[in-house]
Amino acid sequence: MSMSKKRLFAGISLNIVLLAFASFLTDVSSEMILPILPLFITTLGGGGLAVGLIGGLSDSLASILKVFSGYWSDLTRKRKPFVFWGYFSSAVAKLFFPLAQSWPVLLILRPIERIGKGLREAPRDALLADSSLPEIRGKIFGLHRTADTLGAFLGASLALIFYWLLKLEFRGILLIAGVTAFSALVPLFFVKEKKSGSPSSNNFLSSSLRLNITALEPQFKHYLFVVTIFALGNFTYMFFILRAKKYFLHLFPEHLANIFPILLYIWFNIFYTLFSLPGGILSDKIGRKKVIILGYIIFFFTCLGFSFANSTVLFIFLFAFYGIAYAFIEANQRAYAVDFVSAEKRGLALGTLHTMLSLATLPGGIIAGLLWNLHFSLPFLYAAILTLISVLIFLRL
């Protein structure tokens, strides 16, 4: 193995590989659902507001679990149980998706499925941080995002194959996705936690349910303020898919018009995958703040493009930039949060981050849905404005 390859894989433990593989398998399942979910919602009679509600409420109702699960994993010094049961509960919920007969049923089922994500996400990210060295943390979180998005690429590709080539209905694809979700539990059995003594008795933690979030560092709170503003404009991906479908409906009959947004979603995931690891490594070299701001700027121009796009070629470029923006933002926002706090506060900090981002998606989704009903370009202009505000505040802090 060459020296460059040795440096690339240096510091990557078995735990990191297993957690990445579990995320890969989960995303194969989830991403069979995600590209067809907004299309499925419209077949059930849902419009822009329904898409915004389902997208926003899904994360927001489950988000409170993220801060509690992160806090409890700090308190008990046990992260793996939260990760396992989070993946398991999501897998069970997915089995009920194909049974929905109206979009309000999905308004109930989708948040229930997201509860599993709320339970596992902060402890899993804390477990990743526990298993990595500070100087390569960006690389580790970037690697995890890469595995995530590789699964997304495969899952979305399978959805396209099932819908286009095998002529399966949306419900059949949703059923396959639900069954596939259980495969992610296998690698989790082999994850090992470091022995870290008895449950924490640090003064920022309490055996009660009270969370002493005031104990988190002031710099972290300033950072949290910026990313929350950004999250208000970073509404559900489903509007990007609906925007593409709206364009292609002018060119093709509905069955073909459904295929092109799925293809573009796969294209988005290719770029998300390709740039996640390099984005994490870049943040280790030049600083996470610079890379996150770069991601925000790319997202700003992407949203402006979606507001006015009127050609197939432009949509191809825009979905690619959408993937690059997410690659620079998603993993590095998490890694940067860890940089602000001590090891015993990682679960609480990550849980707080995930909770604030998720809570912001509900009003963001509702606003985007209402704006969509007025004109399809308005949600993207709204997102661009909030992203620009986030960049300006970030530069001042």
The CATH number that applies at residue 304 is 1.20.1250.20
**Domain for residue 225, yes or no?**
yes
Amino acid at 279: G
The predicted pLDDT at position 5 comes to 47
Range of the domain at 270: 14-188+216-396
Token pair, residue 1, equals 């193995």
**Domain for residue 61, yes or no?**
yes
The predicted pLDDT at position 230 comes to 95
**Domain for residue 73, yes or no?**
yes
C-alpha distance from residue 303 to each of 137, 297, 300 (Å): 29, 10, 5
Token pair, residue 96, equals 């009920």
Among 134, 21, 3, CA closest to 83: 21
Cα 258 to Cα 245: distance, rounded to the nearest angstrom = 6
C-alpha distance from residue 261 to each of 34, 160, 193, 228, 241 (Å): 11, 10, 41, 28, 6
Cα 256 to Cα 164: distance, rounded to the nearest angstrom = 9
The predicted pLDDT at position 13 comes to 76
The predicted pLDDT at position 208 comes to 42
The predicted pLDDT at position 196 comes to 53
Helices 378-396, 238-248: inter-axial angle, 10-degree rounding: 140
Token pair, residue 126, equals 């804390």
The predicted pLDDT at position 229 comes to 94
Provide mean pLDDT across the span 146-158. 87
Token pair, residue 342, equals 């001590």
Q: How many independent structural domains does the chain possess?
A: 1
Does residue 207 surpass a pLDDT of 60?
A: no
Token pair, residue 39, equals 């299309």
Name the more confident of 282 and 217.
282
Best-predicted range by mean pLDDT among 13-17, 281-285, 348-352?
A: 281-285
137-176 CB burial, b ≥16 within 10 A, e <16: bbbbbbbbbbbbbbbbbbbbbbbbebbeeeebebeebbbb
Cα 211 to Cα 223: distance, rounded to the nearest angstrom = 19
Does residue 121 surpass a pLDDT of 60?
A: yes
Token pair, residue 312, equals 């197939």
**Domain for residue 193, yes or no?**
no
Provide mean pLDDT across the span 219-226. 87
| Residue 333 neighbours by CB distance under 10 Å | 22
Name the more confident of 11 and 62.
62
Comparing 10-14, 33-37, 39-43, 184-188, which segment has the lowest mean pLDDT? Answer: 10-14
Cα 100 to Cα 115: distance, rounded to the nearest angstrom = 18
The predicted pLDDT at position 153 comes to 86
**Domain for residue 209, yes or no?**
no
The predicted pLDDT at position 210 comes to 45
Token pair, residue 20, equals 């990445």
**Domain for residue 156, yes or no?**
yes
Name the more confident of 61 and 170.
170
pLDDT above 70 covers a percentage of the chain that reads: 88
**Domain for residue 133, yes or no?**
yes
State the residue for tokens 């996705």.
177
The predicted pLDDT at position 204 comes to 44
CA dihedral sign of residues 116, 122, 123, 125: positive
| Residue 136 neighbours by CB distance under 10 Å | 18
Does residue 374 surpass a pLDDT of 90?
A: yes
Provide mean pLDDT across the span 265-279. 89
Mean residue pLDDT across the chain: 85
Provide mean pLDDT across the span 38-64. 82
Among 275, 216, 232, CA closest to 390: 232
H-assigned helices in the chain:
3-9, 14-33, 37-43, 48-76, 80-94, 103-130, 137-160, 170-180, 185-188, 218-233, 238-248, 254-286, 288-308, 312-339, 346-374, 378-396
The predicted pLDDT at position 61 comes to 67
* pLDDT tier, 111 (very low <50, low <70, confident <90, very high otherwise): confident
* pLDDT tier, 3 (very low <50, low <70, confident <90, very high otherwise): very low
